[in-house]
């Protein structure tokens, strides 16, 4: 295997930034960062010793891999504009099909299963990478990249990847929204959200040791209808929060009733 793959990135957002830096740190050669914002492209390019550009027509063909790390909704149009190339062209989306890239000879998926926010660093070493490509040779290339930055990678087909992405929406996006609601409730009563931090961390930590359905605590799983009633009356000024509380509570009671 080639020990010095040349890689270009399309995009300069959170995913591009984390992956480019991660690969650069492992001595891969980052050739170009192409982004519609020259400023963002330059910022990232400087950090990974690459060239910045703003037009897909300027992409150099002589790279081994082009990583498209942009919003899901523009992957297709970007793929259509990339000049003909033999490079392995991959995208990093959890939801988009691999076939979006089948106009290329070599194509695949390099999907990091993680939530990247600006200003928070992520230890890539623990990030599962979901890989898929159209040939064994391309799998080998993806594996070489993945191995360099994480201990956890798997071959996942596009249908499976979409299911994982959906599950991640529940586990990550929706959980985070529960944190937002709890902070809002505390803020409205001049109480400090910091109080809940140990509880939130402990709840998340538990899943590495036990099945979440067995870890369920609280009034719903205890069928403690008096507390549920009191909570709903505390929420009488927020129809939205009441609706969410009622629906999730009902579903916890139902799903534990089946056990």
> Which residues, listed in sequence order, are joined to residue 29 by a DSSP beta bridge?
6
Query: According to the binding rule CB under 8 A, does residue 253 interact with a second copy?
Result: no
**Window 115 to 144, contacts with a second copy (CB under 8 A):** 115-117, 119-120, 122, 126-128
Using CB under 8 A, which residues numbered 11 to 70 contact a second copy?
Answer: none
Q: Does 84 bind a second copy (CB under 8 A)?
A: no
Is the Cβ–Cβ distance between 35 and 59 less than 8 Å?
A: no
Task: Tell whether residue 259 is a contact of a second copy (CB under 8 A).
Answer: no
The binding track of 169-188 with respect to a second copy, each residue x by CB under 8 A or -, is xxxxxxxxxxxxxxx-xx--
Q: How many CB atoms lie within 10 A of CB 140?
A: 12
CB of 244 to a second copy, least distance (A): 6
- Site membership for a second copy, residue 157 (CB under 8 A): no
Of the residues 37, 39, 71, 83, which one makes contact with a second copy according to CB under 8 A? 71
Residue 83 gets which letter from DSSP? Answer: P
Please identify, among the stretches 25-33, 54-62, 102-110, 211-219, the one whose residues bind a second copy according to the rule CB under 8 A: 211-219
Count CA atoms closer than 13 A to 242's CA, side-chain side: 10
Distance CA 129, CA 133 (A): 13
85: nearest Cα among 69, 108, 65, 67: 65
Choosing from 209, 237, 257, 259, the residue that interacts with a second copy (CB under 8 A) is 209
Q: Does the protein bind a second copy through residue 148 (CB under 8 A)?
A: no
Residue number with CB closer to a second copy (5 or 146) = 146
- In whole angstroms, give the CA distance from residue 95 to residue 213: 27
Question: Taking the CA of residue 144 as centre, how many other CA atoms within 13 Å lie in the half-sphere pointing to its CB?
Answer: 18
């Amino acid at each position: 295997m080639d020990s010095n793959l040349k890689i270009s990135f399309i995009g300069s957002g959170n995913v591009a930034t984390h992956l480019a830096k991660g690969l650069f740190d492992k001595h891969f050669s980052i050739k170009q960062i192409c982004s519609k914002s020259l400023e963002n492209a330059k910022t990232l390019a400087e950090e990974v010793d690459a060239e910045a550009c703003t037009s897909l027509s300027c992409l150099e063909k002589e790279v081994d891999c082009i990583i498209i790390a942009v919003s899901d909704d523009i992957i297709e149009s970007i793929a259509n504009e990339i000049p003909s190339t033999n490079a392995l062209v991959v995208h990093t989306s959890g939801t988009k099909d691999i076939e979006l890239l089948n106009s290329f000879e070599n194509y695949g998926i390099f999907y990091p299963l993680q939530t990247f926010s600006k200003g928070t660093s992520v230890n890539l070493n623990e990030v599962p990478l979901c890989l898929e490509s159209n040939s064994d040779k391309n799998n080998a290339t993806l594996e070489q990249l993945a191995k360099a930055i994480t201990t956890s990678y798997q071959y996942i087909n596009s249908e499976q990847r979409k299911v994982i992405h959906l599950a991640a929406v529940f586990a990550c996006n929706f959980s985070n929204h529960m944190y937002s609601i709890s902070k809002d409730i505390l803020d409205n009563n001049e109480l400090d959200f910091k109080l809940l931090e140990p509880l939130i961390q402990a709840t998340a930590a538990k899943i590495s040791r036990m099945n979440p359905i067995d870890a369920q605590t609280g009034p719903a799983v205890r069928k403690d209808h008096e507390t549920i009633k009191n909570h709903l009356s505390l929420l009488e000024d927020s129809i939205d929060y009441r609706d969410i509380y009622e629906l999730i509570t009902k579903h916890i009671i139902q799903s534990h009733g089946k056990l």
